[in-house]
Structure 1
Amino acid sequence: MTTETAVPGTGVLAAALFDMDGTLFDSEPLWDVSLADFAERLGGTLSAEIRRRVVGSNLRDTARIVQEDLGVAADVEESAAWLLERTRQLFALGVPWRPGAQEVVRSVRGRGIPTALVTSSHRVLVDEVLAQLDPGMFDTVVCGDEVARPKPDPESYLTAAERLGVDPRDCVALEDSRPGIAAALAAGCLVVAVPEDGAALAGGHGAVVAPLETVTVDRLISLLADRIG
């Protein structure tokens, strides 16, 4: 794929980097089910507060946080493996796009701008989603279990930019959670936050907050140029 040659940091959009769960795909309701099942398996009930707290977290931290909240001393690795398989089963039934998400990805690709899927989810979950999409929709995919330090560490975003051969300062990242926003900002990306509940990210935490339906490729280009200008 070709794109306009850019000098790093000059405001030319070199790549668009997309989070998966809750950003492009409406998978959070499926996580609601698997997490509730996980809590029930541990003999408790998942609270709304803990559900909000684990959004954007990696799988191991999610299992640990739920166990600690329920006061259960179970093996975290075994719990994470159970939660992963339960979620995979749900993903295999189909994961819908969020409204406007497919149009954003297609419009970016239509302008010759490279794309990456950058997610905290494990590869087995990502593969279930990718199997439901047109081949080649993303030029590279970085999964949570393929980096040493998942979000909120910037490694996943830095890895995506490196694979695409671009400077992260010339990338726009679309995210929906605080860990994801922190990761992309630390990598140097311009971050556009598109949470379903915009009030959940009041102040933006360093990101531009916008409804996903209002995001266009021209707006992404303009936002990046404005940051440099």
Structure 2
Amino acid sequence: MKTAGMEAVLFDMDGTLFDSEPLWDVSLAGLAARLGGELRPEIRRQVVGKNLRDTAQLLHDDLGIAADAAESAAWLLERTRQLFALGVPWRPAAQAMVESVRRRGIPTALVTSSHRVLVDEVLAQLDPGTFQVVVCGDEVSRPKPDPEAYLTAARRLGVDPRGCVALEDSVPGVASALAAGCLVVAVPEDGAALGDGHGAVVAELESVTVDGLTSLLAARLG
């Protein structure tokens, strides 16, 4: 039976449910090397949650080169797809969290900035129907931090975003879900990376439960 008061749980993909950031480390470092430079840790942190073109442009700017951001983004996408095809592991406790939500009959959506070709590589490794709705970064006109992706997921599920909980790990993702009206629980590996004043509840993924999310939502709705 669906949990009273909770319309749906909306999950980010990279870094939230799946430990794909190390794979992005490889592809981003590869792009930097291809451009004749190195990926600095500061730039790696800045690109978390950003779309491919903005990521490529940030790297170009940091390396001080004038290159085609679209071309670099295409290379990055294909290299990352190759890595994803080899297998993308769940983050600790993430699979159990998704399964517990599904057992309670709560609708689920995957809301990600990643392109469909990457998402399909991940979905191919999961049970069919794990997520009732999937919204990818290249399927919206305004990616995160714009709320369009989360509003689209809620609309496709037929629910009010104010009754949804979103799990995120990045600043753009948190901003997107908050702007859509969701209750946002941030589950980054390093909570300090989000900074202050983001408006999300910060928690370790291992500590998140359906009952806990229900209580947070109930308190928020009054």
TM range (shorter): over 0.9
**Residue equivalent to 1:87:** 80
Shift of 1:30: 0.2
| Aligned amino acid, residue 210 of structure 1 | A
Tell me by how many angstroms 1:129 deviates: 0.3
Letter paired with 1:17: L
SS of aligned partner of 1:226: helix
Note the C-alpha offset of 1:204.
Answer: 5.9
Question: Corresponding residue for 1:68?
Answer: 61
| C-alpha contact (below 8 Å) 1:193/1:204 kept by paired residues | no
Residue-by-residue CA offset, 1:182-223 (whole Å, 9 max, x unaligned): 000000000000001122124361000000000011111111
Tell whether 2:15 aligns with 1:39: no
Equivalent position of 2:144 in the other structure? 151
Cross-structure match for 2:155 = 162
Partners of 1:18 and 1:204 in 2: CA distance: 21
TM-score, normalised to structure 2, is 0.98
The answer for unaligned runs of 5 or more in structure 1 is 7-11
User: 1:125 corresponds to which residue?
Assistant: 118
Counterpart mapping for 1:22-37 below 5 A: 22-37=15-30
User: What does the per-residue CA deviation read over 1:153-177, in whole Å, with 9 as the maximum and x for residues that have no partner?
Assistant: 0000000000000000000000000
- TM-score by length of structure 1 reads 0.95
Q: Calculate percent identity across the aligned residue pairs.
A: 79
SS at structure 2 position matched to 1:206: coil
1:3 Cα deviation (Å)? 3.7
2:44 partner letter: R
Matches of 1:114 and 1:17 in 2, distance apart? 8
User: RMSD between aligned alpha carbons?
Assistant: 1.1
User: Deviation string for 1:134-153 (max 9, x for gaps)?
Assistant: 11000000000000000000
Structure 2: give runs of 5+ residues left out of the alignment: none
